[in-house]
Amino acid sequence: MLQPTYPIKTPRLILRPLTRNDITAFHALYAHPEVVRFLYWEPHGRAQSLELLTKKAEHTSLTQPGQTLSMGVELVDTGELIGELSLGWTSAEHGTGELTIVLHPRHHGKGYAAEAAIEILRLGFDELKLHRIFGRCDARNIASASLMEGLGMRREAHLRENERVKGQWVDELVYAMLDTEWQKG
């Protein structure tokens, strides 16, 4: 069970539940071709963004495995919503969770993803007491792979053409960290 105390503050960011009022910024994120380039879907229409946002806004805690907790990423300085991140509780038996993060390209390359993602690792390991947190990305997604490496996650797999995405076979990378590695810092 994980019920974070919101908002979660980092030096430059505020992590907090999404609400339907975030639709404009949220849609700007998922309508952006660069954002969805290595994800499973095409740029969203507004109705599709609203449907996704509504679902994410409802999931602000984890009460059982199978659920995914989502948070908005807001800039302290301007209050702008620049992205969202999540922790999926994939298995209670195996103590595993999955990290995902999406930021608007206007704010890439400033260290915001790393600053936010560390909070997901902290929640997963320190509060939910997970054993292993993993992340997956398209092997062409250098930014995502670099982010996970920078967080100290290990590259555990390079799966060759294991998924067919947008009509083509693509490779997938799997990164992970164990609780013992997290504790060592």
Ligand X SMILES: CC(C)(COP(=O)(O)OP(=O)(O)OC[C@H]1O[C@@H](n2cnc3c(N)ncnc32)[C@H](O)[C@@H]1OP(=O)(O)O)[C@@H](O)C(=O)NCCC(=O)NCCS
Pick 142 or 165: Cβ nearer ligand X: 142
Is the link from the previous residue into 33 a cis peptide, with omega within 30 of 0? no
Minimum distance from residue 132 beta carbon to ligand X (Å): 17
Please report, as ranges, the residues that interact with ligand X according to CB under 6 A. Answer: 35, 38-39, 100-103, 108-114, 137, 141-144, 146-147, 150
Pick 35 or 133: Cβ nearer ligand X: 35
Q: Which residue in the shown chain puts its C-beta closest to ligand X?
A: 150
Pick 2 or 85: Cβ nearer ligand X: 85
Contacts (Cβ under 8 Å, ≥6 apart) of 17: 6, 57, 60, 70, 71, 72
Minimum distance from residue 88 beta carbon to ligand X (Å): 12
Q: How far apart are CA 56 and CA 69, in angstroms?
A: 7
Pick 126 or 149: Cβ nearer ligand X: 149
Q: How far apart are CA 158 and CA 138, in angstroms?
A: 10
Minimum distance from residue 1 beta carbon to ligand X (Å): 26
Q: Which one, of 123, 51, 50, lies nearest residue 85 by Cα?
A: 123
Minimum distance from residue 86 beta carbon to ligand X (Å): 10
Contacts (Cβ under 8 Å, ≥6 apart) of 121: 99, 133, 151, 177, 182
